[in-house]
Structure 1
Amino acid sequence: MGTEVRRLVLSGYYGFGNSGDEAVLQSILLALQSEGERQGVRIEPVVLSIRPEQTAAMYGVKAVHRMRFADVSQAIRECDGLISGGGSLLQDTTGIKTIPYYLAILRLAQFYRKPTFIYAQGIGPVRRPLFFPFIRTVYKKCRYISVRDEESAALLKRMGITRNTIEVVPDPVMGLTPKSGFARLNRAKPVVGVSVRFWNKDRSELDALAEALRSIAGQRPVTIRMLPFHLPDDADASSYVMERIGSLPVHSDMEIKQNAIHPQDMLGEVSDCDVLIGMRLHSLIYAASQKVPLIGISYDPKIDQFLNRLGLAAAATTERFDPNQVVREAMQHLDHPEDWLAQTEPAIERLKKQARQPAQQIVSTCAY
């Protein structure tokens, strides 16, 4: 008797070049594959992407254009289930059309009587209450709901979804691993990884960060490694910081990595750092998963929510940024990384284990 095959459609913010969302996709694909092998089921993913050819080539999966209704409809009709997630899909800060799009995909699958699953989503902010009844109607028909933090679960509860039907799990990226054969390089000096984005209009947070990095590089030999997660915007933000840093002492240097397009390549770059200073959520998740001491700069509650799960707090925010605090934490992590690991390792291991739960639930549901 042959292996059972289950085709699952994946809906999310895929193909847009955002390293964080691509990491979510890669993590979900690997988790489904691993769990399928464990349960004796072969999972065939079909990804809804804005650049399906690119997605298919990068991950070795079938992909269809997310905005071509006929292709999406056919993929859903032929599937055994639809996964929505992860990332922050149900929020209305990026535009009023975002929530209706993702709900429409779920509703289409439910129309075709396909089981629907919510995979470690971050829910909100939803500033328009008019969306609440639509979210409630669609989510109540989902076979399985998991969110990445308690705040998301609380928001769904306020919308009228029973709390005990919602599983709180970590972001899927906590379960991502580097490519096989990856090995940390031997270096003459420590590497300070930096992930930034534009946020304040006056760039005050980036100016303060540049001051902190200049101070770190002046106190000891380091390589400052800029890691742009969302191209091209984060590369521009990284270049801005490098320009503000200016010249460094002869014993320190800085570089920017713009060729780490595949999520596992970026994960490798983060793993090779001795400390990571990050604004992007997934830069911090990468660091935590690889047990690299991290320093969070908060611009959004999701940063604080993740840090809280590790027993940490942001060293700075985009509203209140003390460069000296960032320097103090960076020097402490460089001098005593074992202290940071002793504090955070139990939480990291717990989150890694919990990150596998959605794939286990979904594959077991579709297997029968």
Structure 2
Amino acid sequence: MFSTIKQKLKSTLTEKQLNRFRGIYSLSLLAYIDIRSNILANVFPQKPETLNLLVNDVCNSRCQMCLIWQQKKDKEVTPDELAKILSDSLFSEIKYIGVSGGEPTLRSDLPELYRVICSKEPRIIGTGIITNAIIHETVKQRILESAAICKSYGVGFNVMISLDGIGDVHDAVRGRKNNFDSAISLLKFFHEETDIPSSFGCTITSSNALYVDELLDYAESKSLYGRFRVAEYIDRLYNSQQGQFVRAFDEKTLYHLGLFFFRVEHEFEKDLMLKKTYRNIRGMLVEHKPRSIGCPYQSRAAVLTAKAELLYCSPKSPSLGSTLEIAAEKLYFSNISKRQEIIDKDCSSCIHDYHEPLTAKEKVLSYLEARRRRKYECSKLLSLSSKLIESSLKLTKLSSVSSKTVLIVGWYGTETVGDKAILWSIISELRDRSNPPSKIYLTSLYPFISHWTLNEMDLENISIVETYSKEFEEVCTQIDEVVVGGGPLMDIEPLNHILYAFMAANKSGAITRVEGCGIGPLKSPLYTRVVSEIIRLADYVSLRDRDSADRILKEFPVKSLKVIPDPATNYVHFIKLSGNLDRNIPPLGSAKNISCFLREWGIEYIGELNPEEFILTKYKFEQQIVEMILTLSSEYEADIHLLPMHTFSVGGDDRVFNRKFDANLSGLVSNKELTNKIFYTREPISPKEILQSMYNAKLNICMRFHSVLFAESLGVPYIAIDYTNGGKIKAFLEGKGKLNRLISLSEVANGNWRTRLPNIIQSI
């Protein structure tokens, strides 16, 4: 019947109609599942589809976040007992059984347990195991035997190995020396020498939180897959007294973890369901939100302990009773009110990485939001903005402006250290007016970033609105002034929100300003038109460099134009005059050092090179910059400090490059048996800490534009590396008469730094 209908639809509908029908059918099915699993779960409870089977309650690890290892060996369900339990009608719809402990490989009869699991009727689809991999050969043999049994039954099998960091970091979390070596050896074995799907599981505690990026770097370099979770208070782990390790993060570490989970979500994880899980973890950690995702244990999963006791979930469920004494189905369905109590009391604060697929509601909301945002497409905005007439207002003296409400737009939510300094300067200028605004709004692409910025910069009473949100649109119609706050107007789609805000301001009669921006890289005809419209609708334009001003005057319609120092300069001068630079210790210490502010050389700076030339130049640069800085370190008899001007993956997290640089540098130091010491920061660094580091360094190696500006404005020794091939860094230094401090990236890559350095150092 169904196949007949299917064939009829295929023969009568077009492909477009079929796709629409499939979408509606899929959404309807999801909606039914959502209603059945969530709304009706207590009235008409379902049987579990997933079972977490804890085969023992002992462990040979000594984990910080778990005290199972303190337990004595007790009752462990036998294969025969397990077979009897799984024959209960409660488990008739089970599709997946995950085996864990304790440490499940401590059971010599582990393969027999898997034989019982696989022979269960109705058959399951898949099973797996989580292991600490401490006893290398035993773990290997028992998992191989178990996998072979599963394969013979046609049941999928996977292995997850606990891995909480690199080297000593992992061993510290697990409390066992050399555990990392055995864990990574087994992970490589299963990954490279078997067809068993393998992954690692990283649990984040207070002791490894700052080291998880290194593990992610390692996983990416070795093409390994893994999951990351935050240690949670879980009753079956007996860890209620482990408060120094479980969710024990200070605010800076929480922010660091927010950056990390954003990176995992956008650069590492491919599965949409798990991306959602990581997004939820970030929201709970950094934005202190309640749990925003569901959990299979709320409706269609259960836990069976080694004592054969049934639980609704691991973290908070009490034992419902022994399935050896009372039928599992009776235990499960007669205690549903207890499950609801757990949901009402504990689920909103549970950060465990239990996950669920995208719901019908989430899909519908995502579709509607995507539709709503189509209005921001640059081509659509341009067709509307061209009909607007620029205002006749001409601003000459900003200090006399008396706007009550001001909206700051730009690349906020992705800000670098330099952008933070710019924001501070713009807000300070607004508040220094004779009639300062009573309300300042800041648009942010990723609000958790900007909330941290305001905290770092001691900027109070600023309201953050998420870019593209409905609140953003409302604010755009209500404010008296819109300011594009520094940064470059360049070839990226988010230019659209600036144009949108200027269009709204034009309609309402609000003031529009471009403050301290630069122009470029700007080559796209579409984005060039967007920038042209922004300039046309602006009542006041100030730019941070002469080259940008010349291009504006040549190509774009502008009422008036002023060239000013980059707004970040004001912040540097403020900190310099505060006297704190003499009193505070830099984040990496005050030992004699060369401070390096380096970055990845991205493909966007390819210029006239072809792809092969770019890759070769990039490789040579990364080799030669190591040699160059090592030479300077030896000459100055100074340590090497690596510090980030940017710590967010959008825009390139400099800490990633610094870790790679450290590995190359440390390898060279070791091979040459040198004594140079290298240090780098793992946590985010504030603009104030960057300035502190520069001030205390014997020499600064600067690559990002604002690191050059900071060093020059601070009046400290520096060498600038021009990675833009004659762009804004060169223009800035030319204006300062300091081109003798500049060395091009190609000169470094080709080894010409050896002849250039003596003259540069002499000029300093």
| TM-score, normalised by the number of residues in structure 2 | 0.39
Partner of 1:323: 753
Partner of 2:446: 51
Q: 1:240 aligns with which of 643, 656, 660?
A: 660
Cα separation, 2, equivalents of 1:43 and 1:155: 36
Between 1:151-160 and 1:243-252, the stretch displaced more is 243-252
C-alpha RMSD of the superposition: 2.7
In the comparison of the two structures, how many residue pairs are matched?
322
Confirm whether residue 271 of structure 1 aligns to residue 695 of structure 2. Answer: yes
Distance 1:283 1:132, change over 3 A: closer
Q: Is the 8 A contact 1:222 1:251 kept in 2?
A: no
Give per-residue Cα distances to partners, 1:10-44, cap 9 Å, x unaligned: 001112252232232223223333x22xx253553
Cα separation, 1, equivalents of 2:414 and 2:656: 17
Offset, 1:135: 3.3
Q: 2:575 aligns with which of 163, 174, 178?
A: 178
Distance 1:271 1:218, change over 3 A: closer
Partner of 1:285: 709
Q: 1:126 aligns with which of 498, 522, 525?
A: 522
Confirm whether residue 8 of structure 1 aligns to residue 438 of structure 2. Answer: no
Q: Is the 8 A contact 1:315 1:325 kept in 2?
A: no
Q: Is the 8 A contact 1:84 1:106 kept in 2?
A: no
Q: 1:84 aligns with which of 465, 484, 487?
A: 484
Q: Which amino acid aligns with 1:105?
A: A
Q: Is the 8 A contact 1:106 1:116 kept in 2?
A: yes
Q: Which amino acid aligns with 1:227?
A: L
Cα separation, 2, equivalents of 1:326 and 1:245: 21
Give per-residue Cα distances to partners, 1:320-342, cap 9 Å, x unaligned: 32232564256436xxxxxx4xx
Q: Which amino acid aligns with 1:296?
A: A
Cα separation, 2, equivalents of 1:235 and 1:135: 32
Distance 1:131 1:189, change over 3 A: closer
Where does 1:316-355 land on structure 2 (aligned, <5 Å)? 316-321=743-748, 322-325=752-755, 327-328=757-758, 331-332=761-762, 340=764
SS class of match (2:716): coil
Give per-residue Cα distances to partners, 1:126-174, cap 9 Å, x unaligned: 2133444543343223121001111111111222324x71101121111
Q: 2:465 aligns with which of 64, 67, 77?
A: 64
Confirm whether residue 205 of structure 1 aligns to residue 621 of structure 2. Answer: yes
Cα separation, 2, equivalents of 1:188 and 1:74: 49
Distance 1:50 1:331, change over 3 A: same
Offset, 1:279: 0.9
Q: Is the 8 A contact 1:23 1:264 kept in 2?
A: no
Q: Which amino acid aligns with 2:714?
A: Q
SS class of match (1:203): helix
Partner of 1:19: 417
Cα separation, 2, equivalents of 1:294 and 1:216: 12
Cα separation, 2, equivalents of 1:20 and 1:237: 18
Between 1:304-313 and 1:224-233, the stretch displaced more is 224-233
Q: Is the 8 A contact 2:430 2:437 kept in 1?
A: no
Offset, 1:54: 4.7
Larger Rg: 2
Give per-residue Cα distances to partners, 1:50-85, cap 9 Å, x unaligned: 2335524523221110121x2112222232201012
Cα separation, 1, equivalents of 2:446 and 2:619: 32
Distance 1:262 1:110, change over 3 A: farther
Partner of 1:305: 731
Give per-residue Cα distances to partners, 1:299-339, cap 9 Å, x unaligned: 12011111112112253222232232564256436xxxxxx
Cα separation, 2, equivalents of 1:225 and 1:292: 16
Where does 1:125-204 land on structure 2 (aligned, <5 Å)? 125-162=521-558, 165-176=560-571, 177-178=574-575, 182-184=580-582, 190-199=592-601, 201=615, 202-204=618-620
Distance 1:5 1:141, change over 3 A: closer
Cα separation, 1, equivalents of 2:698 and 2:760: 10
Instruction: List runs of 5+ in structure 2 lacking aligned partners.
Output: 1-401, 602-613
SS class of match (1:170): coil
Give per-residue Cα distances to partners, 1:265-310, cap 9 Å, x unaligned: 3232223323211110011111112111221101120111111121
Cα separation, 2, equivalents of 1:234 and 1:55: 18
Confirm whether residue 41 of structure 1 aligns to residue 436 of structure 2. Answer: yes
Cα separation, 1, equivalents of 2:759 and 2:643: 19
SS class of match (2:404): strand
Cα separation, 2, equivalents of 1:325 and 1:27: 40
Distance 1:211 1:53, change over 3 A: closer
Partner of 1:296: 720
Q: 1:105 aligns with which of 479, 497, 501?
A: 501
Between 1:192-201 and 1:168-177, the stretch displaced more is 192-201
Distance 1:327 1:238, change over 3 A: farther
Q: Is the 8 A contact 2:414 2:449 kept in 1?
A: no
Offset, 1:123: 1.0
Q: Is the 8 A contact 2:747 2:753 kept in 1?
A: no
Q: Is the 8 A contact 1:229 1:283 kept in 2?
A: yes
Partner of 2:632: 216
Q: Which amino acid aligns with 1:157?
A: L
Q: Is the 8 A contact 1:149 1:170 kept in 2?
A: yes
Q: Which amino acid aligns with 2:524?
A: R
Cα separation, 2, equivalents of 1:123 and 1:264: 27
Give per-residue Cα distances to partners, 1:83-141, cap 9 Å, x unaligned: 012011x211xx4x233332222222222221000011111232133444543343223
Between 1:173-182 and 1:114-123, the stretch displaced more is 173-182
Distance 1:101 1:172, change over 3 A: same
Q: Is the 8 A contact 1:216 1:331 kept in 2?
A: no
